[in-house]
Chain A
Amino acid sequence: MSVDRNRLERALNPKSVVVVGDKGPGYMWLSNMSEYTGALYSVQVDPNEIPGIEEKNIPNFSSITEIPGEVDLVVCAVPRQIAPIIIGQAIEKQVGGVSMFTSGFAETGEPDAIELQKKIVDACTESGMPLVGPNCMGIYNRELGVKFSNQQEQGSGSDLGVISQSGTHGIGISLGSQRLGMKVGRTISIGNAVVCNESDYVEYLIDDEKSPIVAMYLEGVKDGPRFFSALKKLAQKKPVVIWRGGGTDAGARAAHSHTASLATDTAVWDGMIRQSGAIPTESLEDTLDVLAALVHAPACAGLGTALVAMTGGQSVAITDQFQRAGFDVPELSQKSYDTLGEFFVTIGGSYRNPFDAASTIRSETENLEKILEVLAEDSNIDGGVAIELTTAGFDKEPERLAAQLDLLAEYRTKTNQPVVAMMPEGGAVSGQAEVVLTARTKVSESGFPVYPSFRRGAEALARTQAYWAWRYSL
C-alpha cells in the first residue's frame, strides 16, 4: 500500500501533537516534547495520571475527538488492548497520522496479538491513515523539537535523516551523529512498519530537504521490489547508508522475533544494496564512521591521498590501511619535493608521502601550512588528506589544535577534497582519557570526520569515495 503523502507530511512535520496514555512519574513522552515548538495536548483518562499532566500546563482531554483544532500527530502509548480505540478516535478526528509506541503485536508471534495488529492495520488502511509503528519510538523532528529521546537536539539545519526499524538504533544513530558534530534533521523509528512500511519512508525521503543524506537500520523489508526501486532512486539523488541487522542465521532469528522480519540470504541482500548504489555498513560505529565522512567531507571521487602521520611507525600503519581500503598513496611531483626539501626536517622524518612529520610540524603551525600549500598544488593528490592529530599539550594549549584545524579547513575549502582527522591512541594521542575525548570532540565540532583508528578512517573514506565515483559515473 502507498500512503497519502500529504498526511504523512503532516505526521512527520506536525504543528500539533497529542500524547495519548503517558504515565507518571516521568511522563516520558510529554517530557520528550519539552522543546516542542507546536501545540501540545494530552489524552489521559486515568484520574491518577491527570494531575501530573496538568501540573506541566499541558491541556488534557478524555478523547482525541475533544481536542479543538487540527491534530497532525498522535503519539500513542496506551496498553495494546486499548490501541484500536485510540486508532478509532484518530480516524474520526482525521489526524495526520499516528505514531504507535505500544508493542506486543505480530512480533510476539501470538495469534491474538497478530489478530489485534490486523484490526489496527485494517482500520488505518481503510481510512488512509498513516501509522508509524507499532512497536516503535516514532518521530524525531529537529527543527520542530518533536523527540523520542530528551537528548535529541532542537534547532535549525540538517545534515541527515534517519530511518530505523529499531528504536534503540534510531536513538543510537541520532545521538551518535550529534556527538560527532552532525545535525540529524529527522529520525523515524518505524517498528513493525505494517501500514507505513520502509518503502513509504524511502519514497518520502527522496524529496525531503531535511534528509540530504540518509542513514537506515533495517532487518528486512515488506515489499522487496518496491523497496529496491525506491532505494535506487534515493541513492541516485543522495548518499544512503544502510546497516542491516540479522545478516547471520542466529541474527535473522533474533530479527524475526524483534520486528517479524523475513530472512533474505545475505548474499542476495548485499547484491541488492550494491545494485542500488547505497553504502552497506555492519554496525553502529561503522554507520557513524561513514556518516561522518559523508557529512564532514566534500564529495570527492579521487583516490590519491596524502597521509600525514607523526612518527615513522604510524606512517607505515596509516599507509597500509589506506592502500588496503583501495586508495593510492602516490609519490609527489619533483616540484613538491623540492619545496618540501627546503624546510622539512628529515632527521627522524620524511616527506615522500606518507609524511612522518612530528619534528617538522612541532609546536608551531607554520610548517603545517607550508605542507598543505604544497599538497594543494600537487595534482597527484586528488583524494584528500588524512592527518594524525596530536593531543599532547591540548589541555594547556588548546589554541594550537584550533589553529591546525583552521589550516585544514582552509585546505579543504581551497581543494574541495576531504580532510580526515586520525586520532588513534598509541600514537600521537596520549594523556588523560578526558583530555583525549575533549580533543576529539573539538575536532568533530569543528566539522571534521575524526576516527579512533586508521583502519576505521580509511574504510569509511573509501566507501564514501566509492559512492561519489559511482554517482559521477551515472
Chain B
Amino acid sequence: MTSLTVTDTIITRALSEGRLLLSEVESKNLLVAEGISVTDAQLARDPDEAASVAESLGYPVVMKIISPDIAHKSDVGGVVVGLTDSDEVKSAYDEMMRKVSSVVSTARIEGVSVQTMAKPGIEVIVGATTDPQFGPVMMFGLGGVFVEVLKDVSFRVVPLEPRDAKQMVREIDALPILEGVRGQDGADLEALEALLLSISELIERRPEIAELDLNPVFAYSDGAIAVDARIVLHSQNGV
C-alpha cells in the first residue's frame, strides 16, 4: 500500500496544481515507488541543498534543471554531469542558474534534480503513449541521436504478455547492437523485457498516465536502469 500512496500523492498534487507534466524528480519518485529501476534523483532548491543531496547519494552525480517551461534541458545549459565533490556541486548550481536564466529568462525554475550518475550502457528507449484507436501502447527502440531518423522502433498494445515483450525487443533492426558487437558486452535482453512488462503493468494499473518516456535507459550485460524519465497525465475534469 505504501507504493500506491506515493504514486497517488504525486498524481494528485500535480493535478491539483493544474499540471499534467510531472517533473523528472516526481516521475522518478513515482517509478521508484512502483519498483522500476531508475537512477535516484532528488530535488534541491539551493546550492547547499544540492550539495547535501549529492553527499547522501554518493559521487559522481549529475545535475539537471527542473522547469515546467524547459523541454530540452541540455540545449540551455541545464545538464551537468560528472560532479565529484560538494564544491563542484555548489558552483555548478550557481553556474546553471545563471546560464539558464540568461537563455530563457521567462522560464519558471523550481530548482535542480541531483542524481546518481549511472555508468554508461547501451542506450535504449522505453515509452508508453495513448493511440486514438487502440488506447495505451508501448514503444521500444534503440536510444541515441539516430532513433528519430531511422524510426527503428516496435509497438505493442497494453497489456503486454511476456511473448510480446520478447518480440518487441527482438524485432528492431538494431538487435545486433543489443546483442553486442565487436566483442562488446551485449544488453541484458531479459532485463529489458522485464522493464517493458512492468511499465505495461503500471500503465494498466494507473489509467491517469497518458505518456511515459524512459529516455534513455542504460542497458548493461546484467540489468538495466532508466536514467531519465518523463510522465504526462491525462487531463481530468477541470484540469
Contact = CB atoms under 8 A, between A and B. Distances in A.
Contacts of B85: none
The interface centre, meaning the residue of A220, A228, A473 with most chain B CB atoms within 10 A of its CB, is A228
Contacts of A271: 137, 154-157, 168
A59 B133 CA distance: 45
A275 B155 CA distance: 9
B133 A262 contact: yes
Interface in A218-267: 220-221, 224-225, 228, 262-265, 267
Contacts of A56: none
Interface in B135-183: 135, 137, 151, 153-157, 163-164, 167-168, 171
A384 to B, nearest CB: 25
Nearest to A222: B133
B167 A224 contact: no
B134 A264 contact: yes
Contacts of A228: 134, 157
A331 interface: no
B133 A267 contact: no
A473 B133 CA distance: 29
A265 B131 contact: yes
> Which residue, of A220, A221, A270, A274, has the highest number of chain B Cβ atoms within 10 A?
A274
A224 B134 contact: yes
A268 interface: yes
B132 interface: yes
Contacts of B163: 473
A25 to B, nearest CB: 43
Given A267-B151, A271-B154, A271-B157, A225 B134 contact: yes
Given A224-B133, A225-B135, A275-B164, A270 B157 contact: no
A262 B171 CA distance: 26
A174 to B, nearest CB: 27
A224 B133 CA distance: 5
Interface in A193-209: none
A264 B133 contact: yes
Interface string A265-290: 10110111011000000000000000
B204 to A, nearest CB: 11
B132 A267 contact: no
Nearest to A221: B133
A262 B155 contact: no
Contact of A224 (B131, B154, B156, B164): B131
A224 B167 CA distance: 21
A350 B171 CA distance: 37
Nearest to A264: B133
A267 B155 contact: yes
A166 B155 CA distance: 27
Contacts of B167: 274-275
A265 B155 CA distance: 10
Contacts of A272: 134, 137, 155-157
A217 B133 CA distance: 17
A225 B137 CA distance: 10
B133 A220 contact: yes
A268 B132 CA distance: 11
A313 to B, nearest CB: 32
Interface of A: 220-221, 224-225, 228, 262-265, 267-268, 270-272, 274-275, 473
8 contacts: A220-B133, A228-B157, A264-B131, A267-B154, A268-B131, A271-B157, A272-B155, A473-B163
Given A228-B157, A262-B132, 16 more contacts: A220-B133, A224-B131, A224-B133, A224-B157, A225-B157, A263-B132, A265-B131, A267-B155, A270-B155, A271-B157, A272-B134, A272-B137, A272-B155, A274-B156, A275-B164, A473-B163
Interface of B: 131-135, 137, 151, 153-157, 163-164, 167-168, 171
Across the A-B interface, give the 5 residue pairs with the lowest CB-CB distance, nearest first. Answer: A271-B155, A224-B134, A224-B133, A264-B133, A268-B155
